[in-house]
Chain A
Amino acid sequence: MDNLFIEGFIAFFTVSSFVYLNLGLLLGLVFGSIPGLTVMLCLVLFMPFTYTMDAIASFMFLLGIYCSGSYGGSISAILIKTPGTPHAAATMLDGYPLARSGKPKKALLTALYASGFGGIFSALVLLFAAPLVAKIALNFGPPEYFILCVFGLLIISGVSSGNLLKGIIAGCLGLLLSTVGMDSISGVFRFTFDDFNLYGGLNLVIVLIGLFAISETISNASKYSKTVKYASIKTDDNKDDVLPLKEFFSSYLTLLRSSVIGTVIGCIPGTGASMASFLSYDTARRNSKNKAAFGKGSEEGIAAAESANNAVTGATLIPLLTLGIPGDAAVAILLGTLMINGLTPGPNLFQEHGVEVYAVMIGLIVINIFMLIQGRLLMPFFAKITKVDFSLLTPLIVIFCFAGTFSINNTMYDIFVAIIFGVVAYVLIKLDFSPIPILLGLVLGNLTEMNLRRTVTMAQGDWFFVLSRPASLALIAIFVSLLVWFAYSRLRQRSLASKTEEQIA
């Protein structure tokens, strides 16, 4: 391990890594801070740029977007009471009141430092825990992988849609889309309708661009109104509007607790940052000596929400790198990048590409440090970023989508596929179906099918075969208890979110 660590460090320590991670951080900050633009959209739009990069540089670039986008959402939540990302809603509960009381810089700095703290904490956990999990996962066979895939899909289906049935239906659609093209086991073509363009299956990036970027622009175009005005806060100089590090670290217990909550939740596929931020906000409020300040501009509240949601970023990489199971939609894109670069996630990744994996894990720590630096330097511009007009962004996104889609196979056919998926996603969103389970179904489809087919072959008609394997039994037991706990905390999160939002309003 020591050798891999050193070799990974050397592989990471290149000029290109630093350039791309900083570029990614900047883009993530911009996209995260503009309400309506999402980290997902940013990852989808800029993924084609990584085709010319090596594995480490491309991962640094996308991880930079992922981490800073997570923090960027808090900027608009604090300054204009509009969360740039869903999980920033918990930050808004205290961030906006603190900013309104004349301390916007203090609110932004608390969010930034807490994000950095949570991010570095989870990156360290990733560095030490991932190799251990990978060792355990080496004992997993097809039945265990199949259970993992089903669990991930089920959780994501439940989380992303308000209605579990709709989530499962969307997940099924994704799984069906993954079967288009040549079957990797028998070699027969499926659902190609004699169109040779479909023989290789649907390209993940093209579908992503359609589902998340084009649908977003159609939605923006339908909603656009010049009368929308944000209630922004001036970030003028105020002597009291500072945050000494001593004051920030006075709530170290909250920071540590929230980072642990974020890391644990991030490890569970499908749970996500929103759950982590609301749960740790609630925990911080219950354990605080100054409960009354929560909802009225408590720095502890901002720190709890932000450290938890950024602690998720490193933790979601644990199931991705060790098992090949993406924890959320954004990480599914990272999975695509790994595969494009010939790195197949799973326990063998640590043995076959140990240097690259360690480089990525070390890079994540550095990314969080640079996020602190960029966030501090760019703070004066944040108020301007949050007010960028959508009429400028919407056509620009479409142009990027076209160029990015065309660059994959140099064919106009892909652009029309992306448009079709964009329109389909727009209709499905109108009918309250989330596109996230479709994406996860598409990403996990092949893995799920392969392991299901292998399990059925291994079982030879014995349906209790899976239960006879200790690893499968242990996984089923863990997942059933997690599902119960998950359902309980979801109910708790919902009631807390509605209660606190009522208080703020």
Chain B
Amino acid sequence: MSTPNYTHRITVQASTEHLSEVRDFVASYATKHGVSSHEVEDIRLAVDEAYTNIIKHAYQYDDSRFVEIVMGSEKDEFWVSLKDNGKSFNPTEYPDPDVEERIKKKERGGVGVYLMKKLMDRIEYHKHDGTNEIRMIKKL
């Protein structure tokens, strides 16, 4: 016996201009579905990092492109997927950064994926028919 899980989806233009709107949208959905405020904050930041990576790496700041965000919750987990049709980037293969070394080299960035991994319980990457999907799962 299975009942369809309630999911929610939005499609947003790939621009940093929409970052706070995306964060608030995901946070308000998670809050409504009983996710604790501490966990909502983790999810908010992980989604910000994933969406920012798509803007930068998958679409290279082409704001005519779109990102689809789908999320849902089941009894003991909350999941959120971000889908794009840009350049592939598999965060699960991205090495953990040495922050001290990066600072010495005056390199910024490269820490967003690490944050996503720390904040969420599981990160998956799927590619199908030119669509990249990053799925992040938080156990509740």
Partners in one complex: no
Please list the residues of chain A having a beta carbon within 8 angstroms of any beta carbon in chain B: none
